[in-house]
Structures are given as C-alpha cells and as structure tokens.
Structure 1
Amino acid sequence: MAAPAKQTFGIPWPELNDGLFYTDVVSSSDSGLTLIEFYSSKYKNSAPLQGWLQRIQNGQITVDGTVTTGPSTRFSDGSRLVYHRLPWKEPDAPYLLEVLYEDDDMIAVNKPSGLQVLPGGLFQQRTVLSQLQWRVRKKTSSVASQGKHPVPVHRLGRGTSGILLCAKTKLAKTRLAMYFADGTSIIGGNRNSKEESKTVRKITKVYRALVHGILEQDEVIINQPIGIVRYPGVAKGLYVASPSGKQALSKVDVLVRDLQENRSMIKVEIQSGRPHQIRIHLSFIGHPLVGDPLYVSGGQPRSVDSEFVDESFAHDGCVIIP
C-alpha cells in the first residue's frame, strides 16, 4: 500500500518585497528640526547624510501624510513622519512547508533549513509567518478570515530544520505560549528539587545536532548563563556565554560517535529557550556545531573583521537537523 502523499503549502516568493514603513512621532525635543537634521542625526547608523538626502528627494518620506521632498522642511511637536524603505529582493529561501499535524486551533509544520520564522534583517517577507498568512487568505474569504491569526508560537533559527508549532487563533497562541513558559519556569531557581521532580511539562523541546569532536560522557548537563555583548555588525548585540546573563539549561545525550570524522551526533533537550542556546552551549563545552560560521569553543564568537560581518551572520546555524 502506497504511503499517503505529504501535504504541503506555500506560494513562490515575489521578486521584490513590499518594502518597509518606519514611523516617528516628533517629540518636543525634536520640534523645530529640519527633515535632514532629524533623520541624519537620529538614524545616522542607517545611512550617511547623503543617503538621507537622496531618500528625502526621492519622495520616500511623508510628513503628516504628505510627501515631502525638501530636506530643509521643518515640522512641529506631534508631527507624524513616515519613511518608506523601498522594496528589495530578499536572499533566496525555500517557500514550501510540510504539514505534520493540523486542527482548528494549531498547525505543526516541518520548517526547512534556510527559511526564517519571523521578519528580521534582510528577511521581511520570506518567512514562515508570511506563508501562514497567505494560506489563510487563500483558503478563506475576508469575512471568514476574521478571528484567524496564524502565527508561530516559538522560533527555530533560519538554518535549523524541524517541527514548528503555529497557532491559528489568538486563544491558541495564548495557551501554547503558556505551555512553553511552563516548560522553562524551573530555570528561575524558585522551586526546590522535590517540586521540580513533580513538574510535568506539556511541551518538551528536543533537537538533534552534529558537533565537532567526540564527547566522552554519554550524558552532559550544561548550565551556563547566556547574555549579550556588543559585536560589530549586529546592532542589538550578540548572544554569548556570559556569567552575568540569564540562566539556561541544556541536556545532551550522545547518539553516535564518528571516530573517523571526529564528530558526534547528539540529542539536545533544552529547558530554557535563550536565543542560539544550543549553538552557544555546545561551543561552550568545546564541541561547536558543524558548519556554524560564528560560535567557537567557549561559547564566544570568532574574531572577524567587522567589514565582513552583517546581521545575518549571527542568525545562520545550519547544522541542527530533525
């Protein structure tokens, strides 16, 4: 008997996305500034002076709903400024998602490596969220789609493949988020060991990964805080192993030891959900993930020339597999 065909969905990505709109409401401290003074000082990291001049002259900025091309235009307290970042072609990404389970409240999909879950950086449209929203619009009328709010309730790194749970309603999102929170609450250290032993998690996160080196122990518990440090090219900072960071706990079990290739296939269960936790924890114990472009032994980033670093460098992790 033939196996049932896999159910997939997805719409090929448009050539260009829709661009982005950034809104500012002018405060009293900025009242009286010219348009070029406001943008070139407040967002100087986004573009140099000449870049903002070009954007203004291109008609990409409105003041209180009116396109304004004069860089010397002044505005008052409470004015609404909107900058339109023009559409661009996002980097290549897969678009098909395999449905593993679905009911009226949730859908579980197999997220492929290379697809970002939520908008960020260069990926604003080529995301799981976009495909979920497009699917709802395609399957239902505008009236029937009311109350439908498909959204992932947790994240997997862009380079990570695996099961992604997505809520289809606001209520389902709230409930699922609560279940995920229940699974990480003991990390706070407010429960004693007796209470922890009675904890039953509704959701458990388990991953498989390929790492450099041979782990000697069959089981390893990694209890290393994760914090943020400044890093060139990453505006909001980079997550690293840090004594002053938030608590994070990972349980590692060795599945296969490949002595010839000097690699180990492992299973990782995380009881917290810090960004890049698996990548950081495995590198912290001296076994970085195979193919990780960023983290090296010690849970720290490799030293690189900032000229060659961009925001996406911190989000690539292409070795965690289902």
Structure 2
Amino acid sequence: MLNTMRMGEWFQITVPLEWNGQTIADIFRHVWESPKKLTHSFRMENKVLVNGDPANWNMPLIKGSKIQIKLFEDENIEIFPNFIDIDILYEDEHVLVINKPPFMNTHPNDLKADQNTLVNAAQFYLQAKGENRNIRQIHRLDRDTSGAILLAKHALAGAILDNMLLKRNIKRTYIALVHGVLKQRTGTINAPIGRDRHHATKRRVSPSGQAATTHFTVLKVDKGKQQTYVKCWLDTGRTHQIRVHLSHLGHPLVGDTLYGGNSIVKRQALHAAKLEFIHPFTQEKIVCRAPFIDLPVIFKDIDIYSL
C-alpha cells in the first residue's frame, strides 16, 4: 500500500522503493497507462510537482520523494445533479461504489430529458459534498439489475479504471436466480454474443458476435420450485451477457421475460453482489459487497459475505 495524502486540490504520493529510478513520465505511461492527451494536459499545465517544485518529467525519482498531482480542481458540470437517495458501499477521494437499486438506469441516454439515473444521483451527491467535478461511470448495469457499480471522481482515476476494466482487472461477481436445475455444478460458457436482428434491444448467441465468456457455480438448488441460485463472474462485459448465456443453456433468469423467463418477480433476478479491484493510487485491495435490497426478497438465504 502506498503512502498518500490529500492536500486541498493536490494529491501527494510518497515515492515507494519500486518507483525508485523511474520518472514521472514512466509512472503516467507504464504504471497508470494514462492516455496521451490526458498526460499531456498534466505536463503542459504544470499539474505535477516533486517535493513542491515543478516536475522534471524525465528525471529519475528517488525513494521517499513527494509527488504532488493536481487532481481535485473544479470542473464545468456536464451531468444534471438530481437528488435520489443512494447507498454508498465505498468512497474515497478518487472512487465511489454504489449499491444500485433495480428499476433505475445507470446513465442518461439524453442529458436533458433523462435525469433520474444513478449517474445523476451520484453527481448530486458529489456536489452536495462540495466536490464540483463530473462523476465518471466505469461500467454499467442493466436498468433492472441491482448491485455494486463503480464510478470515478476525476479524469485520471476514470482513465486508469477504464483501462483496468478493459484488462479484466476489475472483478465483478453476480448472483442469478434461474429456472430449472443446472446439470453442472460449475462451468464456463464461451459463446459469442451479437444483436438480434428481429428485436431492437435483444441480444443472442451468434457466431458473428463478440467473444463472451461467463463462469458460473451453483450456490443452491430449490427443487420444489425447480430453481437454482447461481454465482457468475465474467471475463467480458457484453450487453445482457449473463442473461443471454444462461438462457442459451436453457436456464433463463427468473423474471427475465425478454429471454424466456417467467414473470414470477418484477424484474430479472440478477444482482451484482461483489466488486473487487486494486486501488489505482494506493495499491490497496478494495472489496465491496452489495446487500440485497428487494422487497419482497428474491435471493433467499444467500450470504454475500461467503462469496
């Protein structure tokens, strides 16, 4: 874990042993893999200091030196802030993890017309705390899917986390309730997913689709109701991936009428129960678990803390 602290608009990192001899340019390019345009703005606007002085980006760093980065400036707000009560699972100066309720879109499709989304709520929360910066979503959940979702509080955190997601370094674990009893206790579904030509929003397994991999483990079987509670985690993040893959196996999600499920509950029975990642600035392992929030209860007698 790195030694860090916030100082107003600046964020300070004490150079660890593993950075000794590297340059500021190396840290941005190789450690954080920051986009060139964003890195250029930090460099040209003198937003990086070493021991209080403007950084020489090509000078080798010395263990124990202090790097200061201007991360917490006010921004022109692009997202309309809207008060909606949200459940915060984790927060620091860089990231926010929220337990998204069902029946809420993750982000607005139209910035003016759609203002009741999780991103609008998070934007209000941020500004109410005096943090006048645009919130940045890192991934999304379907409107009717609940659970842990990750957002970034500033541009550099957003860029690093976007890249971590692309490299599959952010692990998301889901709980699904499906129809039927799975034959396998554990397994992997490798099946490409593409658009359904006959339905605007539907996806399907298709040889011409994008590669998609879902791993699963059976948690519990309700033989009386002929239903199975399944833990899933993904190597990819295709639209409706878990819903499509489990339906393809012949076990659609309970409540998921789009993919063959029965409307026993009011939504598809899918919950993002656990989110894990290595913090981009402190190197701390962050593990967030999202409690179930449905009433009546959908996921009965499932302990998210045992996942």
Normalising by structure 1, report the TM-score: 0.54
Equivalent residue for 1:260, pick from 215, 221, 224 = 224
* 1:212 and 2:176 aligned: no
Q: 1:264 to 1:123 in 2, by over 3 A?
A: farther
* 1:135 and 2:125 aligned: yes
**Cα deviation per residue 1:76-128 (whole Å; 9 max; x = unaligned)?**
xxxxxxxxxxxxxxxxxx93211111000001111111111011389711101
Q: Which residue of 1 aligns with 2:191?
A: 224
Q: Which residue of 2 aligns with 1:120?
A: 109
Equivalent residue for 2:144, pick from 124, 145, 159 = 159
* 1:271 and 2:271 aligned: no
Give me the whole-angstrom Cα distance separating, in 1, the residues matched to 2:115 and 2:202: 23
Which SS does the other structure have where 2:167 is aligned?
helix
Equivalent residue for 1:106, pick from 90, 95, 120 = 95
The structure having more radius of gyration, on CA atoms, is: 1
Give me the whole-angstrom Cα distance separating, in 2, the residues matched to 1:168 and 1:106: 5
5+ residue gaps, structure 2? 1-82, 274-307
Give me the whole-angstrom Cα distance separating, in 2, the residues matched to 1:175 and 1:160: 25
* 1:296 and 2:285 aligned: no
**8 Å Cα contact 2:212/2:235 also seen in 1:** yes
Aligned residue identity for 1:155 = R
Aligned residue identity for 1:151 = R
Q: Which residue of 2 aligns with 1:171?
A: 156
**Cα deviation per residue 1:230-267 (whole Å; 9 max; x = unaligned)?**
335x3xx5321111101100001000011100000000
Which SS does the other structure have where 2:125 is aligned?
helix
Aligned residue identity for 1:230 = R
Q: Which residue of 1 aligns with 2:268?
A: 318
Give me the whole-angstrom Cα distance separating, in 1, the residues matched to 2:116 and 2:219: 34
Aligned residue identity for 1:214 = V
**8 Å Cα contact 2:177/2:253 also seen in 1:** yes
Equivalent residue for 1:283, pick from 244, 247, 261 = 247
5+ residue gaps, structure 1? 1-93, 184-201, 303-315
* 1:182 and 2:156 aligned: no
**8 Å Cα contact 1:95/1:115 also seen in 2:** no
**Cα deviation per residue 1:123-173 (whole Å; 9 max; x = unaligned)?**
711101111222233222xxx62xx22121100111111111110001111
Normalising by structure 2, report the TM-score: 0.57
**8 Å Cα contact 2:256/2:269 also seen in 1:** yes
Q: How many residues align?
A: 186
Runs of 4+ in structure 1 off by over 4 angstroms are: none
Aligned residue identity for 2:101 = P
Which SS does the other structure have where 1:272 is aligned?
coil
Give me the whole-angstrom Cα distance separating, in 2, the residues matched to 1:165 and 1:284: 28
Give me the whole-angstrom Cα distance separating, in 1, the residues matched to 2:156 and 2:187: 37
RMSD: 2.3
Give me the whole-angstrom Cα distance separating, in 1, the residues matched to 2:257 and 2:227: 17
**8 Å Cα contact 1:258/1:264 also seen in 2:** yes
Which SS does the other structure have where 2:116 is aligned?
coil
Give me the whole-angstrom Cα distance separating, in 1, the residues matched to 2:105 and 2:224: 34
Give me the whole-angstrom Cα distance separating, in 1, the residues matched to 2:268 and 2:185: 24
**8 Å Cα contact 1:222/1:249 also seen in 2:** yes
Alignment of 1:59-98 (within 5 A): 95-98=84-87
Which SS does the other structure have where 1:294 is aligned?
helix
Which SS does the other structure have where 2:251 is aligned?
coil
Give me the whole-angstrom Cα distance separating, in 2, the residues matched to 1:95 and 1:239: 31
